[in-house]
A = this chain, B = another copy of it.
Amino acid sequence: MKQRRESDNTSSVTIHEVAKHAGVSSMTVSRVINKNVPVREKLRTKVLESIKALNYIPNIAARSTRSGDSGIRIGILYSHPSASYLNEIMLGGLEQASKLGTQVLLEKCGGLQSQKTAVSRLVEAGVDGVILPPPLCDSAPTVQMLTREGIPVLALATARPLPMVSAVRIDDFEGALALTRHLTKLGHKRIGFIKGDPSHTPTEVRYEGFLQGLDEADLPLLDDLVVQGMFTYKSGLEAGRKLLDREDRPTAIFASNDDMAAGVMAVAHGMGIHIPEQLSICGFDDTPVASTIWPQLTTVHQPIVAMGKSAIATIVEKIKEARTSGQMGKPKRQLMKFTLMDRESTGPAPHRD
């Protein structure tokens, strides 16, 4: 283990000390750090060595004062504080914001009236852009209020972005399709499906992905195996009972999110149905509950933290663009990669009795 630097209890290494050590100007060090500018290879190497030798890490706060990002204020307007994805969005958002030196304002709201108030507060606070996590990401009135004020809006994790808004999201259709293929490849033919809250855009899109998956495998849609849910654990419990408490129950159930899948699993546990031997279950989102329960849930992972980061980065770009060009411009759309998490809650279809 290395010795601590003597100077440690006074302050950190600055760019100037690195410059001195490397025998160049601070500007050259700055250029090396910030990549994208050409520096002669010889100098670059020397600087890099000095950085290592002195254990230099750039002071982000100082950087952002000058680079212009630091004046930017982003609002995050949310309406569903208990949702487990919200923490992760904030986590990614704050991390990115601190990198950019951007400020973040959190604003909570409930119904439509309170959305108006919340938007006013954000406008008064002078935000330069607003990020809308689900379910607000699909709220036309909110988007309209913001847009009318000339404030760029970014919808996070929506399945179908509204016309004028930027968006960071995954392809819900492809995600559901991948999950369905996973089940059909395991030999499942009787697959139950639990829909989500009809007012959320991913609900329909995920269902469409499921249908496509059945189609590809030449499987018919079994109407009575499609049940309406509300994205809640409790609705999963109820849907699970409907699907499992029958003679010809499905060999697999695709719940439109993890919470509902967890509900189904509790019902199955209760009926003494072994998972995955007798029943495969999968969810969607890969929220914390997916790896809490047993067996752990096969699901589609949304990279929420990364999406939170990207949301900040994207809207900051949008804002700077607008400042430069003086007009709103086209919305930015970012599609993130999802991951199929093949865990223990799915397995080969049981043999016919």
Contact = CB atoms under 8 A, between A and B. Distances in A.
A126 to B, nearest CB: 5
Contacts of A287: 288
Nearest 4 CB-CB pairs, A to B? A270-B270, A12-B71, A61-B101, A234-B294
Contacts of A222: none
Contacts of A72: 12
A9 B326 contact: yes
Interface of A: 1-2, 4-5, 8-13, 55, 57, 59-62, 64-65, 70-73, 82, 84, 87-88, 90-91, 94-95, 97-98, 101, 103-104, 119-120, 123-126, 128, 145, 149-151, 232-234, 237, 259, 262-263, 265-267, 269-272, 287-289, 291-294, 322-323, 326
Nearest to A64: B61
B59 A259 contact: no
Nearest to A12: B71
Given A259-B292, A326-B9, A123 B91 contact: no
Nearest to A102: B61
Contacts of A269: 237, 266-267, 269-270
Contacts of A82: 288, 291
Nearest to A265: B266
Q: Is the interface of A mostly helix, strand, loop or mixed?
A: helix
B94 A293 contact: no
A189 to B, nearest CB: 27
A294 B233 contact: yes
A257 B269 CA distance: 21
Given A94-B94, A97-B98, 14 more contacts: A1-B119, A1-B145, A5-B126, A9-B323, A12-B73, A12-B126, A57-B126, A60-B61, A61-B70, A61-B101, A62-B70, A65-B65, A90-B91, A259-B292
Contacts of A265: 266
Contacts of A60: 61, 103
Given A2-B123, A237-B294, A292-B84, A59 B65 contact: yes
Nearest to A263: B294
Contacts of A65: 59, 61-62, 65
Contacts of A120: 1-2
Contact of A8 (B95, B101, B126, B271): B126
